[in-house]
Amino acid sequence: MASFQLVNRLPGATLTVAGRFEFTDDGIGTYVVWSAEVVERTGLIKMMPQAVLRAQIETELADLWNGVRRQLDETLAGS
């Protein structure tokens, strides 16, 4: 298990996200369960509609996990 807090400060705005990863062995690999939530929004980000912010965060998280998958695939292909 690992937990984290990300703080993104921009001029006039702050976004704080808290998250958690849990790793378990599923017999053929590692199963990852994760969660994240926005715990603070200030400034200009606070004015952004939650649906817009959520869509942007989900897109960036999908890109992040796809990048992790690509790296793992490349690593396993090179083994």
- Pairing status of strand 2-10 against strand 30-43: unpaired
pTM for this predicted structure? 0.69
Q: pLDDT per residue over 3-59, tens digit each?
A: 999 898 989 999 999 999 999 998 988 888 989 899 999 998 999 898 988 888 888
Break the chain into its structural domains and give their ranges.
1-47, 49-79
Tell me how far apart the alpha carbons of residues 44 and 41 are, in angstroms, rounded to a whole number.
8
Element (H, E) at 79: none
Q: Are 34 and 22 in contact (CB under 8 A)?
A: yes
Alpha-carbon distance of 3 to 1, in angstroms, equals 7
Left, alpha or beta for 51 (phi > 0: left; psi -120 to 50: alpha)?
alpha
